């Protein structure tokens, strides 16, 4: 077996850069920044991290689609490159909104763990072998558990971290069991080789067990109903940037990985999705998620819980996109994931700034935001309307692309088409609770004694950039779609 290590090192440049930056941040924090106060340490660590992330994105773009690396362990196709850049962009967004909040006790470690999670996501985007898939998934998940429980001084954060950890650990066990059955059935760990063996041997009853295990595992990780129970508590208790990271970059990498597992890439032909039984189960998960997420969100009075249920509903629509991408390619799904990630991370960013000033999470605490901070109110409007799928914003085009991809093969002649119709109906339900947020923020007068909100410069810049991207991707969707 001949391995081209120079090619491998070149392909791994972005990941290595992030790890080096993480080590450098710790060294900086231990030496130069030792005597500084918390917010200065957080700002310096975030700045170094953000620079490294931006440079890594440039490297990932410059390297481009390199094809198979390490005898097919990694596959850097177009989707992988796009996902890497998307993950890095969302990481940048999360780092940007995280600054200015001096409540974190270990700022350097926080940035380091964000970078580690980003490396996990990037590996998930390109992994082609079950071992690497699992390792990347666990690197990302373990980092996210720590991030969810990072604000040790608040019991809610510890609760979020513990719940996320317990559910995630369970999901990992299911996933690993499913992977081990797949390995036992096919005798290979490579995904393409696996699909070749399976096409030759046909359906085996054990494959159904493996399929259910893997779907349960991914269902937990993606917070799809009925495996969504951890999500509201985790989103509510975790520090806002961590929740934004869980809701955005983790979704992007996770769904790309799942799509790859089901459908493979264009050059490889179909993978597990071609074997019977997968699609109907994913179909059920998608429908249940949209139903549960949208209906439960109607009853929420806490904005973070509301966003969590909205995330569950979006997970349903994304699963529909996963089914559809078997025919249409991953373009619509990727567009939806990216724009949803930007919008939801941006909304969490707005709430993070507000919480730093008042420490409140209730819907009614948003009252009078248009007076207290027009900038935040404007950004929030863009993000929420994009989540709701209102036209010129990118959320609309994401939904449009996914639903069109689901409807185009057979119209209403297939169950997928009917699921798309159901998703459209559920989007109308979603519009109601999204507008509830906006009603509080834009219409209701401020409570007596409410003061103006001071937005930290870095957070303001990040939020405006995210809102701008939401608008631009909505008006020029080909900017993202032309990659596919």
| Beta-carbon count within 10 A of 6 CB | 7
CB under 8 Å to 217, separation ≥6 — which residues? 171, 172, 174, 175, 176, 178
C-beta of 241: minimal distance to other proteins in Å?
22
C-beta of 108: minimal distance to other proteins in Å?
9
Tell me if 206 contacts other proteins by CB under 8 A: no
**Alpha-carbon radius of gyration of the chain:** 21
Tell me if 32 contacts other proteins by CB under 8 A: no
Residue number with CB closer to other proteins (30 or 51):
30
Tell me if 23 contacts other proteins by CB under 8 A: yes
Residue number with CB closer to other proteins (135 or 229):
135
Q: Which of the stretches 25-33, 95-103, 210-218, 395-403 binds other proteins when contact is defined by CB under 8 A? A: 25-33
C-beta of 26: minimal distance to other proteins in Å?
6
Q: Which of the stretches 23-31, 241-249, 356-364, 437-445 binds other proteins when contact is defined by CB under 8 A? A: 23-31
Q: Which of the stretches 26-34, 57-65, 223-231, 314-322 binds other proteins when contact is defined by CB under 8 A? A: 26-34
Burial 312-349 (b: 16+ CB within 10 A, else e): bbbbbbbbbbbbbbbebbbbbbbbbbbbbbbbbbbbbb
| Beta-carbon count within 10 A of 122 CB | 28
Cis peptide before 342 (omega within 30 of 0): no
Query: DSSP of 22-53, one letter per residue?
Result: HHHHHHHHHTTTTTS-HHHHHHHHHHHHHHHH
Interface mask (CB under 8 A) for other proteins, residues 69-108, using x and -?
-------------------------------------x--
Tell me if 30 contacts other proteins by CB under 8 A: yes
C-beta of 221: minimal distance to other proteins in Å?
26
Q: What is the C-alpha to C-alpha distance for residues 73 and 418, in angstroms, rounded to an integer? A: 37
Token pair 């773009």 in the structure block, residue: 61
Token pair 């969302």 in the structure block, residue: 90
Longest dimension (CA), the chain: 73
Per CB under 8 A, the list member of 3, 4, 9, 27 interacting with other proteins is: 27
Residue number with CB closer to other proteins (165 or 230):
165
CB of 360 within 8 A of CB of 447?
no
Residue number with CB closer to other proteins (26 or 47):
26
Residue number with CB closer to other proteins (30 or 166):
30
Interface mask (CB under 8 A) for other proteins, residues 34-63, using x and -?
x-----------------------------
C-beta of 21: minimal distance to other proteins in Å?
13
Gap between the terminal Cα atoms of the chain: 32
Residue number with CB closer to other proteins (27 or 40):
27
CB under 8 Å to 60, separation ≥6 — which residues? 13, 14, 81, 84, 85, 88, 122
> What DSSP designation does 149 have?
T
**3-class SS of residue 2:** coil
Residue number with CB closer to other proteins (23 or 412):
23
Tell me if 26 contacts other proteins by CB under 8 A: yes
C-beta of 184: minimal distance to other proteins in Å?
12
Q: Which of the stretches 24-32, 136-144, 200-208, 213-221 binds other proteins when contact is defined by CB under 8 A? A: 24-32
CB of 171 within 8 A of CB of 221?
yes
Residues 108-127 that bind other proteins (CB under 8 A): none
- Helix H or strand E segment including 328: helix 303-328
Residue number with CB closer to other proteins (20 or 445):
20
Residues that bind other proteins (CB under 8 A): 23, 26-27, 30, 34, 106
């Amino acid at each position: 077996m001949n391995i081209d290590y120079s090619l491998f090192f070149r392909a791994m440049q972005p990941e290595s850069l992030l790890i080096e930056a993480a080590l450098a941040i710790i060294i900086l924090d231990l030496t130069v920044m030792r005597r500084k106060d918390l917010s200065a340490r957080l700002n310096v660590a975030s700045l170094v991290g953000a620079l490294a992330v931006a440079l890594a994105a440039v490297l990932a773009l410059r390297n481009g689609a390199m094809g198979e690396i390490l005898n097919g362990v990694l596959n850097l196709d177009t989707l992988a490159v796009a996902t890497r850049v998307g993950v890095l962009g969302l990481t940048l967004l999360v780092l940007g909104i995280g600054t200015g909040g001096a409540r974190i006790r270990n700022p350097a470690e926080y940035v380091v763990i964000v970078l580690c999670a980003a490396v996990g996501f990037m590996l998930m985007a390109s992994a082609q072998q079950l071992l690497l898939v699992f390792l990347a998934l666990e690197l990302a998940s373990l980092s996210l558990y720590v991030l969810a429980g990072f604000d040790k001084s608040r019991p809610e954060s510890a609760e979020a971290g513990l719940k996320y950890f317990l559910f995630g650990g369970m999901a990992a066990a299911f996933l690993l069991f499913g992977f081990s059955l797949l390995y036992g059935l096919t005798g290979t760990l490579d995904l393409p080789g696996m699909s070749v063996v399976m096409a030759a041997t046909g359906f085996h009853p054990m494959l159904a067990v493996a399929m259910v295990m893997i779907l349960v595992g991914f269902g937990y990780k993606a917070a799809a109903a009925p495996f969504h129970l951890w999500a509201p508590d985790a989103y509510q208790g975790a520090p806002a940037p961590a929740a934004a990271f869980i809701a955005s970059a983790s979704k992007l990498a996770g769904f790309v990985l799942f799509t790859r597992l089901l459908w493979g890439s264009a050059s490889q032909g179909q993978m597990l999705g071609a074997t019977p039984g997968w699609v109907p189960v994913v179909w059920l998960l998608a429908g249940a998620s949209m139903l549960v997420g949208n209906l439960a969100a109607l009853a929420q009075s806490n904005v973070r819980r509301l966003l969590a249920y909205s995330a569950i509903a979006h997970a349903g629509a994304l699963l529909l996109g996963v089914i559809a991408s078997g025919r249409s390619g991953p373009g619509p799904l990727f567009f939806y994931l990216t724009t949803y990630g930007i919008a939801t991370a941006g909304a969490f960013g707005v709430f993070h700034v507000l919480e730093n000033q008042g420490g409140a999470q209730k819907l009614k605490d948003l009252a009078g935001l248009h007076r207290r901070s027009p900038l935040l109110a404007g950004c929030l409007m863009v993000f929420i309307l994009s989540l709701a799928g209102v036209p010129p914003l990118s959320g609309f085009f994401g939904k449009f692309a996914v639903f069109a991809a689901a409807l185009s093969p057979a119209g209403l002649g297939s169950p997928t088409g009917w699921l798309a119709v159901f998703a459209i109906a559920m989007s109308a339900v979603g519009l109601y609770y999204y507008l509830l947020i906006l009603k509080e923020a834009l219409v209701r007068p401020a409570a007596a004694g409410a003061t103006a909100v001071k937005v930290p410069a870095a957070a303001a810049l990040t939020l405006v950039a995210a809102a701008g991207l939401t608008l631009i991707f909505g008006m020029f969707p080909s900017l993202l779609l032309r990659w596919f």
